[in-house]
Amino acid sequence: MLRNDEHHKILQMLEREGAEYGRDAVSTDGAAGHAGARARGKILDFADVPDVLSLPANPVAWLVDGMIPCAAVTLVAGEPGSYKSWLALSLARSVSEGEPFLERVCPRLPVLYLDRENPQSVVRERMNLVGIGSAERLRVWGGWLADAPPALGDARLVQIAHRWKPLLIFDSLIRFHESDENSATEMAPVMAELRALAHAGATVVALHHRAKSEASRYRGSSDILGGVDVAFAVSRDRDAGLLRLQCFKSRFAAEFSLTLRPELESHGGFALADSPAVSREAADVETLRRLIASEPGLSQGELLRRARVPEHRASGLLRSGEGQTWRTERGTRRAVRYFPLSSEDRAETPG
């Protein structure tokens, strides 16, 4: 995980500390040697370990209130096309600007988005849709740079975590290590590297993939789940145009589930589908989808008459659902006609 020169530096540091410990332990005045070591915070004996109940009790600090704790490791797992990268970019924007994410309060913090998954053109397009402009507190370190994002274990990541206390987003986890993700032995050090970044002050969010099995919430060894503080699974209902964000592990709060609607074209983010307004919109979208599925090729005017949805709302829904829930073709006299998405169309939807 660490480069040879970094291993050498760490070994030198350990040798210095070992020599220092040795001087303390073999001091001609043993008690004085131990006292000096204890003054520097070293634990040399059972009695030196502090009573945990006597230490200051710090309340949980939240990056996203009730969802993502600060200085912790969070996993977000989903299949390709489940919008996990979009959610991560939306989170990055909210935190860098100190704005709510999914209607939950966020502090304003620096954000470093490390992307080894997507090309620059895709990232730029998504940033524009999400509403990320040139931001002082948000940086995207992508594989398109001459100095590509470092792998886990790189000393620069620890330095950034210690100095800036940022939100660090890894897209995706598998691209930042060379270990076998199905091996607990190999994944334990990887998860330890993420933990080291959290100990240094960073809030770590790692995007990950789900296995093909419907019952699986994430892919790989149980050490992956064991090494994180919070874990989310993202799943997509393509027919309804909704996402389910399920928290299936949390060391800090009760597990929960949210239903989200992507609104990237219209609002550049995600709406909670549990609210009355979104529920009404979901019902209208379902009405339009069923009509298009049952009678492919209807024009917009025909859809508006049959759906009995207010025209101003239906027109907006038809535009926002194009390419996501249905597709369009130009008919005679350039009339726009609506058709269900084919399997090929679905395969091209965002990831």
Same domain (yes/no): 195, 49: no
Nearest by Cα to 82 from 293, 255, 233: 233
Cα distance between residue 92 and residue 109, in whole Å: 9
Same domain (yes/no): 306, 207: no
Same domain (yes/no): 119, 265: yes
Same domain (yes/no): 175, 152: yes
Percent of the chain topping pLDDT 90: 61
Same domain (yes/no): 240, 200: yes
* CB neighbour class for 83 (10 Å; exposed up to 12, middle 13-18, buried from 19): buried
The structural domain count of the chain equals 3
Domain termination residue (choose one: 21, 36, 54):
54
Cα distance between residue 125 and residue 117, in whole Å: 15
Residue 104 has what DSSP assignment?
Answer: B
Asked whether the predicted pLDDT for residue 19 surpasses 80, the reply is no
Domain termination residue (choose one: 274, 290, 315):
274
Cα distance between residue 88 and residue 167, in whole Å: 11
Same domain (yes/no): 160, 207: yes
Average pLDDT score, the chain: 87
- Residue 238: pLDDT band by 50, 70, 90 thresholds? confident
- The per-residue pLDDT for 344 is 62
- Give Cα 195 to chain centroid, integer Å: 16
The model's pTM: 0.70
Same domain (yes/no): 72, 197: yes
Domain termination residue (choose one: 230, 247, 274):
274
- The per-residue pLDDT for 215 is 73
Same domain (yes/no): 74, 209: yes
Cα distance between residue 195 and residue 228, in whole Å: 8
- The per-residue pLDDT for 335 is 85
* Contact (Cβ atoms closer than 8 angstroms) between residue 182 and residue 222: no
Where residue 200 sits, what CATH number does that domain have?
A: 3.40.50.300
Same domain (yes/no): 77, 186: yes
Residues 6+ apart with CB under 8 A from 16: none
Nearest by Cα to 197 from 243, 165, 172: 165
Residues 6+ apart with CB under 8 A from 62: 68, 69, 70, 105
In a 3-state reduction of DSSP, which class is residue 175? Answer: helix
Nearest by Cα to 234 from 265, 209, 264: 209
- Residue 346: pLDDT band by 50, 70, 90 thresholds? low
Task: Pick 18 or 159 by higher pLDDT.
Answer: 159
The token duo for 207 is 């995007």
Domain range for 220: 62-274
In a 3-state reduction of DSSP, which class is residue 141? Answer: strand
Percent of the chain topping pLDDT 70: 84
Where residue 328 sits, what CATH number does that domain have?
A: 1.10.10.10
Asked whether the predicted pLDDT for residue 14 surpasses 80, the reply is no
Residue 29 has what DSSP assignment?
Answer: S
β strands within the chain, DSSP E: 62-64, 68-69, 73-78, 111-115, 138-142, 167-171, 203-209, 230-237, 242-250, 257-263, 269-272, 298-299, 326-330, 336-340
- pLDDT, tens digit, for every residue of 99-157? 999 999 999 999 999 999 999 999 999 999 999 988 789 999 999 999 999 999 999 99
Same domain (yes/no): 192, 318: no
Cα distance between residue 198 and residue 182, in whole Å: 23
Same domain (yes/no): 201, 265: yes
Helix axes 276-294, 311-321, angle to 10 degrees: 70
Same domain (yes/no): 126, 240: yes
